[in-house]
């Protein structure tokens, strides 16, 4: 699907979690800015890969998001980021994980894809698809991607949230030590810290004033009909150093694939609890569901119910937190955008060539719904 396209399209999200009413305008503005930056690249004739990366970079630079500068801090008080991007034309995927010291991790993921486009390296070596930690940082330096001090990526908001969460963790562990018998100390600490199962996760996703939301993402289509998806995240608060979430995992954080005369082009990015999304390969599942259905909203509803909320891979997990943003393109004049989330809210922005300003949606669960159990699905069907 690379002929007769004239207009471009882009959609973004700023995480699935809970977005306070007081901050709604700020979240929507972040979406607007990202759409403008990405669409400017696409309307200039650049590939979908460039448009997606440009939009994500804007979101990484905005400290209202949990990506790039201002991300959540890990257990040791440092910023470690994941980012990924998938080129639907060439079916190439590039990602970085647990990367510190790079302001825009998506720029490294994009260059990883570009390195793959070149083909084999010297001596027939296979170019990498995923780089993590210090190896990813060294690769960024070798490819002239700017490096900053780790402290420069810590925002005051993220630091304040880290201190609150760390204090809570210390209090729980201290309570366990004081109440447990010495012979059962280790077992009791584990029981108390982990009961209920998702106590810290639920608190973080439900209380934005204490923590940033998870994972920003972009899906787009360029003027030639190529699709691309991208994602970036600072991960969940107090994550273990070195932890990589769904953003850095193939098939979990993003998926993009150009169609042909018989299939639509599809791009998808996910957001939520990384471990839940990794175990269900949700991005790839969304793609598979859309290629076999004429109703995108119904397909996404079904895949969330059967492959996420009721997935055997998440047996024992009471609350499943996830979201997805998907675009499906049939030819040059038929584009369908769908979003879904099991969290309390998800903020989305989208924009098409010829528009001066993108549109934004703050999707929320109903008052009678339960985050982690209920599902909200929305979408737009329009022509390019």
Which residues are the active-site residues? 215
Strand partners of residue 233: 82
CA distance to 191, 285, 295, 303, 336, per residue, from 292 (Å): 44, 11, 9, 12, 15
Contact between residue 341 and residue 363 where contact means Cβ atoms under 8 Å apart: yes
Specify which residues 335 forms β-bridges with.
329, 382
Cβ atoms < 10 Å from Cβ of 251: 19
Burial grade of 260 (CB within 10 A; 0-12, 13-18, 19 or more): exposed
Burial class (CB within 10 angstroms; exposed 0-12, middle 13-18, buried 19+) of 129: middle
Contact 24, 223 (CB under 8 A): no
How distant, in Å, are the alpha carbons of 187, 211, 296 from that of 168? 19, 13, 42
Q: What letter does residue 65 receive in the DSSP assignment?
A: S
Instruction: Label residue 15 left, alpha or beta by phi (over 0 means left) and psi (-120 to 50 means alpha).
Output: left
């Amino acid at each position: 699907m690379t002929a007769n396209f004239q207009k471009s399209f882009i959609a973004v999200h700023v995480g699935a979690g809970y977005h306070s009413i007081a901050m709604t305008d700020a979240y929507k503005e972040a979406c607007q800015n990202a759409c403008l930056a990405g669409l400017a690249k696409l309307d200039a004739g650049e590939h979908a890969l460039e448009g997606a990366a440009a939009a994500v970079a804007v979101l990484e630079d905005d400290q209202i998001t949990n990506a790039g500068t201002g991300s959540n801090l890990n257990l040791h008080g440092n910023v470690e980021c994941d980012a990924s991007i998938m080129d639907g034309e060439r079916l190439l995927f590039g990602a970085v994980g647990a990367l510190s010291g790079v302001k825009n991790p998506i720029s490294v993921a994009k260059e990883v894809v570009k390195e793959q486009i070149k083909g084999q390296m010297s001596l027939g070596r296979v170019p990498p698809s995923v780089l993590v930690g210090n190896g990813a940082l060294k690769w960024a330096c070798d490819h002239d991607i700017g490096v900053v001090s780790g402290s420069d990526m810590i925002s005051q908001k993220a630091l304040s949230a880290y201190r609150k969460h760390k204090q809570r963790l210390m209090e729980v562990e201290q309570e366990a030590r004081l109440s447990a018998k010495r012979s059962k100390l280790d077992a009791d600490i584990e029981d108390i810290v982990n009961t209920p199962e998702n106590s810290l996760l639920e608190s973080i996703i439900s209380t934005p004033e204490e923590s940033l939301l998870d994972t920003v993402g972009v899906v787009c289509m360029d003027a030639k009909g190529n699709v691309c998806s991208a994602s970036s995240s600072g991960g969940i608060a107090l994550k273990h150093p070195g932890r990589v979430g769904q953003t850095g995992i193939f098939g979990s954080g993003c998926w993009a694939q150009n169609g042909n005369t018989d299939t639509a082009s599809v791009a998808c990015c996910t957001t939520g609890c990384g471990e839940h999304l990794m175990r269900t390969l949700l991005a790839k599942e969304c793609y598979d569901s859309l290629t076999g259905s004429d109703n995108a909203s119904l397909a996404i509803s079904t895949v969330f119910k059967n492959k996420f909320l009721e997935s055997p891979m998440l047996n024992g997990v009471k609350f499943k937190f996830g979201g997805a943003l998907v675009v499906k393109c049939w030819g040059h004049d038929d584009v369908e955008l769908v979003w879904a989330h099991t969290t309390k809210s998800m903020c989305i922005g989208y924009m098409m060539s010829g528009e001066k300003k993108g549109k934004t949606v703050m999707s929320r669960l109903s008052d009678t719904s339960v985050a982690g159990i209920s599902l909200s699905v929305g979408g737009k069907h329009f022509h390019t």
